[in-house]
């Protein structure tokens, strides 16, 4: 009798678990359907079979999530109904908040949750919080998430009242199936196991992203972030790096000093040495706004005017160093590619400038090195970081706000006030090298457009998109005004403009990788002419300083660089992509698979082995120099 009672109890518990499992599985499936329906504009031309296939694979993958949540809820239910209700409430509140956040996240990044959410830990959390309130309506989304969680909670309690009228053997068999599906991610064994790396079964990127529920997407981000932190995929030995660096520099792989392979002699300046150099890193300035197909928007007329001027040149095939602003800063300041290291957190970055750093080379050319940032000096430790990397002076929001009544937000002062501060405070009698980082073209998009004489366009039905485009117009206008005004004050100046990253605002719901990720490289000023950059030029942000040096430095000026001058470089690479004048592709695929930049572009030739070696060289040399220094010896 006692044995029978125990079996009944076990059967009851397992039956309760099956009900919970089905509840969670249905919840994720319904959420997935709603997500696809609401964001259907981001879906390409697909048929109903592809949508059903995505829903089916998503349901299978969510078996794992449902099984884990069931385990979290089921175990306490054995001992306490109160504990069960508390844990269920917490789980459903978290689930609802994540679901509410998934919509704006996809609109912003064209992706389900990924490793970008872990980068926020290193960001300005207060500024991020204010952006969530102002730009993404955090209070309203939290209220909706709370309402959703209450509804789910009531439904869950009703489901718990369901009594399975089936015998013990069937309950055990179904439980075994549930556990198997949980362990193998919707599969029955390791051969049919699903995970975030093998679920992209449709041709549509949006549908492939919807297959991941919020927890699976966060898990993907966690795994990818861990790969970055632990440098998985960068398992190069000292000899590997020696061989790659030697091949790149056309030397014999005999030296144990990495700097020997990064050592360059300038070929001789192509223009008279300018008195002032300005490198403007412009927030979210993507290259797609400069393409002819978007000319009717008139949101980049300023830079288009400069590109067409006689004293300018332009490289349209250029990659950011990473997916966020700090990667752009570290790439330009240090000359190191984004190679799975967060440089502003490395103690080595604050000891001495790297041999490839920008400021020491520019100072040897006779310039005072200044860094101007529209935001707070504490963001990413940018003030300490730039000074440690050799800059003479660092100016930030505190300096700018102290001099006048300025407007801005938590990310920084409006671009106009940043540029006014530079014009009014830069010592024009002393040769200067200046990096400028602006912030206005960034959420929460708070520029007073009416006061700035900018009328919000009604081009699109989406007011948020119109607002973003208006801020792009503002950033472009103020940048051109700065270049014009500074050129009048000091005509013997050159200006480099580059976007920090793209992928935050696209007109096309399914942009090509070229339109989604590319940023412009524009150079203008005294002595610059069309054609100074190579006709097939392509590059990334680690190529900016070598380009400037080769344009202005005397013959045989010595410097160290991983990047190469755009006067001869024909390829770019970053943490995710490679790029040439004809092709773009995933730098982490093997073998590399180049895709045409546009539908009109034809890939005439592609040396896969050469590009793979270049990718490995840039990544391994950047990683080793940042982490271990210049001495090549197995660690």
Per-state percent for the chain, helix, strand, coil, to nearest 5: 50, 10, 40
- Number of domains making up the chain: 2
490 and 360 in a single domain? The answer is yes
Give the end of a domain, one of 572, 592, 614: 572
Determine, yes or no, domain membership for 608. Answer: no
Query: Which residue stretches of 42-80 are H helix?
Result: 48-77
| Residue 307 backbone phi and psi in degrees, to 5 | -60, -40
Which domain, by its residues, includes 502? 266-572
Taking CB atoms within 8 Å and a gap of at least 24, the contacts of 120-125 are: 122/326, 122/342, 122/344, 122/345, 122/380, 123/379, 123/380, 124/375, 124/376, 124/378, 124/379, 124/380, 124/410, 124/411
Q: Is 268:442 a contact under the CB 8 Å cutoff?
A: no
Q: Of 152 and 194, which is predicted with more confidence? A: 152
218 and 281 in a single domain? The answer is no
Distance CA 491, CA 484 (A): 10
Please give the pLDDT value at position 613.
94
190 and 62 in a single domain? The answer is yes
Determine, yes or no, domain membership for 613. Answer: no
Number of H helices, E strands in the chain: 21, 17
Q: Of 505 and 556, which is predicted with more confidence? A: 556
274 and 200 in a single domain? The answer is no
Per residue in 454-512, pLDDT (tens digit) is 988 888 888 888 999 999 999 999 999 999 999 999 999 999 999 999 977 888 888 89
Q: Match 């940043």 to its residue by tokens.
A: 418
224 and 302 in a single domain? The answer is no
What is the 8-class DSSP label of residue 220?
Answer: H
Percent of the chain clearing pLDDT 70 (strictly above): 92
Q: Which two structure tokens, joined as six digits, stand for 293?
A: 């197909």
Is the alpha carbon torsion for 358, 364, 366, 369 positive or negative?
positive
Please give the pLDDT value at position 231.
43
The string over 367-388, giving b where at least 16 C-beta atoms fall within 10 Å of a residue's C-beta and e elsewhere, is bbbbbbbbbbbebbbbbebbbb
Pairing of strands 595-596, 583-586: antiparallel
535 and 462 in a single domain? The answer is yes
Determine, yes or no, domain membership for 617. Answer: no
Evaluate if residue 552 carries a pLDDT over 60: yes
370 and 495 in a single domain? The answer is yes
272 and 220 in a single domain? The answer is no
The overall average pLDDT reported for the chain is 89
Determine, yes or no, domain membership for 621. Answer: no
Q: Which two structure tokens, joined as six digits, stand for 228?
A: 């970055």
323 and 431 in a single domain? The answer is yes
DSSP string for 82-110: HHHHHHHHHHHHHHHHHHHHHHHHHHHHS
Determine, yes or no, domain membership for 582. Answer: no
552 and 442 in a single domain? The answer is yes
Q: Give this prediction's pTM.
A: 0.78
Please give the pLDDT value at position 119.
62
Please give the pLDDT value at position 1.
46
Distance of CA 442 to the CA centre of its chain: 14
Q: Which two structure tokens, joined as six digits, stand for 393?
A: 């002076």
Pairing of strands 263-265, 558-560: antiparallel
CATH number of the domain where residue 558 is located: 3.40.720.10
Give the end of a domain, one of 572, 587, 609: 572
For residue 443, give Cα distances in angstroms to 10, 198, 268, 410, 411.
53, 33, 43, 10, 9
Determine, yes or no, domain membership for 583. Answer: no
197 and 309 in a single domain? The answer is no
Distance CA 333, CA 314 (A): 21
Give the end of a domain, one of 176, 209, 229: 229
352 and 432 in a single domain? The answer is yes
């Amino acid at each position: 009798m006692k044995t029978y009672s125990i079996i009944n109890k076990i059967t009851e518990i397992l039956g309760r678990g099956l009900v919970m499992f089905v509840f969670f599985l249905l919840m994720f499936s319904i959420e997935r359907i709603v997500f696809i329906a609401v964001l259907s504009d981001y879906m390409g031309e697909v048929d109903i079979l592809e949508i059903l296939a995505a829903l089916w694979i998503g349901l299978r993958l969510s078996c794992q999530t449902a099984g884990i949540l069931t385990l979290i809820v089921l175990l306490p239910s054995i001992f306490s109904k109160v504990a069960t209700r508390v844990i269920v409430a917490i789980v459903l509140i978290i689930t609802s908040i994540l679901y509410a956040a998934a919509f704006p996240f996809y609109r912003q990044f064209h992706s389900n949750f990924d490793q970008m959410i872990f980068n926020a830990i290193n960001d300005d959390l207060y500024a991020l919080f204010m952006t969530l309130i102002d730009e993404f309506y955090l209070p309203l989304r939290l209220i909706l998430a709370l309402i959703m969680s209450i509804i789910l909670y009531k439904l869950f309690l009703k489901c718990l009242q369901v009594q399975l009228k089936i015998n013990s053997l069937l309950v055990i068999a179904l439980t075994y199936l549930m556990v198997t599906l949980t362990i193998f991610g919707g599969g029955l064994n390791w051969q049919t196991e699903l995970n975030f790396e093998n679920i992209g079964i449709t041709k549509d990127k949006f549908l492939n992203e919807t297959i991941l529920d919020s927890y699976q997407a966060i898990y993907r981000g966690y795994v990818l972030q861990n790969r970055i932190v632990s440098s998985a995929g960068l398992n190069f030995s000292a000899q590997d790096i020696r061989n790659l660096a030697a091949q790149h520099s056309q030397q014999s792989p005999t030296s144990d000093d990495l700097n020997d392979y990064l050592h360059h002699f300038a070929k001789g300046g192509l223009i008279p040495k300018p008195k002032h150099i300005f490198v403007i890193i412009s927030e979210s300035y993507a290259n797609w706004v400069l393409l002819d197909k978007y000319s009717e928007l008139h949101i980049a007329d300023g830079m288009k005017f400069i590109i067409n001027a006689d004293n300018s040149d332009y490289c349209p095939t250029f990659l950011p160093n990473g997916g966020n602003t700090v990667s752009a800063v570290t790439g330009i300041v240090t000359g190191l590619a984004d190679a799975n290291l967060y440089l502003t957190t490395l103690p080595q970055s604050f000891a001495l400038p790297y041999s490839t750093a920008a400021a020491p080379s520019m100072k040897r050319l006779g310039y005072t090195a200044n860094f101007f940032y529209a935001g707070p000096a504490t963001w990413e430790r940018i003030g300490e970081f730039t000074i440690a990397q050799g800059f003479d002076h660092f100016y930030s929001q505190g300096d700018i706000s102290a001099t006048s009544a300025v407007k801005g937000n938590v990310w920084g002062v409006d671009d106009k006030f940043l540029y006014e501060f530079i014009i009014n405070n830069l010592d024009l009698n002393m040769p200067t090298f200046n990096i400028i980082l602006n912030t206005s073209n960034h959420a929460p998009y708070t520029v007073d457009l009416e006061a700035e004489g900018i009328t919000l366009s009604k081009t699109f039905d989406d007011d948020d998109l119109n607002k973003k485009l208006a801020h792009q117009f503002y950033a472009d206008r103020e940048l051109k005004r700065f270049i014009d005004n500074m050129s009048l004050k000091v005509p013997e100046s050159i200006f480099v403009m580059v976007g920090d990253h793209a992928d935050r605002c696209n007109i096309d719901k399914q942009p090509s990788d070229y339109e989604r990720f590319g940023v412009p490289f524009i150079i203008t000023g005294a002595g610059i002419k069309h054609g100074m950059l190579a006709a097939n030029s392509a590059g990334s942000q680690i190529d900016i300083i070598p380009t400037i040096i080769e344009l202005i430095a005397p013959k045989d000026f010595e410097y160290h660089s991983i990047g190469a001058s755009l006067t001869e470089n024909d390829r770019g690479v970053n943490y995710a992509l490679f790029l040439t004048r004809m092709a773009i592709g995933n730098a982490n695929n093997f073998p590399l698979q180049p895709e045409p930049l546009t539908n009109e572009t034809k890939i005439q030739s592609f040396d896969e082995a050469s590009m793979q070696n270049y990718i490995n060289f840039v990544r391994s040399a950047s990683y080793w120099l940042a982490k271990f220094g210049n001495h090549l010896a197995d660690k």
